Structure 1
Amino acid sequence: MKVLLIKDVKGLGKAGEVKDVKDGYGNNFLIGKGYAKAATDAVLRQWEAAKRNEAQIKEYEISQNEKLKDELAGVKITIKTKLGANGSPFGSITKDEIAKALKEQKGYEIDKKSLECDNIKALGEHEISIKLTHQIHAKFKIEVVGE
């Protein structure tokens, strides 16, 4: 019996491979547990179509993230903070504040978890890195000023 593995199976193969197995093992274990499907022409065509579709989606996401990276390279946002007695910021600027300011000032909605920076505790200009999908990193600048 020929089966198309849907999931990796230890000792047999990886997802996407077509394997020849005994009927009982194929029907009762692999297909029964959802690790494989019977390798008919229709199933193989459907698998290939799904793989092509995933590749197109990935290519589209990469192009969109590259475009976003280029747009963010020229972005500079300003964050106002209260100053302490010695002229330094009172508290620190968090990732949440940076994400909110980026959305309010420039319209880019970025998840605060994708920002790669520590809390900012000084006035002036700082460079912030954003981890986008598919190992793409974008950078933009923020300026921290006192109120």
Structure 2
Amino acid sequence: MKVLLIKDVKSLGKAGEVKEVKDGYGKNFLIGKGFAKHATEEIIAQHKADEAKKAADEASEIETLKAMAVKLDKLEIIITKKLGQNGHLFGAITKDEVAHALKDQHGVEIDKKHIVDKVAIKTIGEHDLDLKLGHAIHATLHVDVQGE
């Protein structure tokens, strides 16, 4: 009996592979537990169509992210924060503040989890933040911190 694996099965194969197994193992365990489907031509064709659609969606997402990275590399945001007596900021600039400022000033919405903050911004002046957009695409955002 041929089965199309839906999930990874230890000692048998990975999801998406077609394997030849004994009838009882295939029907009772693999198909019964939801690890596989009976590998008919329709099921295999549907699986290939789903994989092609998934690949096309991923390619489209990568193109969108590359365009966003180019746009973000050109942008600069200005954040104004209250200063203490010694000229330093009260607290640090948070990722949430950066994401809100980017949305308010340029209309670009990103998740604050995409901001890689290696060193917290605690001083006024210009800073560059690295943004991980996904699929190994990075962008650099220029942040100008000014004191009130």
TM bucket normalised to smaller: over 0.9
Deviations 1:29-79 (CA, angstroms, capped at 9, x unpaired): 000111100000000000000000000000000000000000001100000
1:126 counterpart residue number = 127
Q: Where has structure 1 moved over 3 Å in runs of 4 or more?
A: none
1:16 has 2:9 as partner:
no
1:97 counterpart residue number = 97
- Contact 1:62 1:134 survives alignment (8 Å): yes
- Contact 1:83 1:146 survives alignment (8 Å): yes
1:2 has 2:2 as partner:
yes
Q: Aligned partner of 1:47: which letter?
A: H
Q: Aligned partner of 1:123: which letter?
A: I
Q: Distance in 1 between matches of 2:111 and 2:95?
A: 9
- Contact 1:95 1:119 survives alignment (8 Å): no
Aligned length: 147
Q: Distance in 1 between matches of 2:101 and 2:94?
A: 11
**Identity over aligned pairs, percent:** 54
- Contact 1:30 1:36 survives alignment (8 Å): yes
Pairwise CA distance, 1:98: 0.6
Aligned-residue RMSD, C-alpha: 0.7
Pairwise CA distance, 1:119: 2.5
1:146 counterpart residue number = 147
Q: Aligned partner of 2:36: which letter?
A: A
- In structure 1, the gaps of 5 or more residues are none
1:57 counterpart residue number = 57
1:79 has 2:82 as partner:
no
Q: Distance in 1 between matches of 2:96 and 2:16?
A: 41
Partner SS state of residue 53, structure 2? helix
Partner SS state of residue 132, structure 1? strand
1:30 has 2:24 as partner:
no
1:109 counterpart residue number = 109
Question: Structure 2-normalised TM-score?
Answer: 0.97
Deviations 1:123-144 (CA, angstroms, capped at 9, x unpaired): 0000011111211111110000
Q: Distance in 1 between matches of 2:147 and 2:7?
A: 55
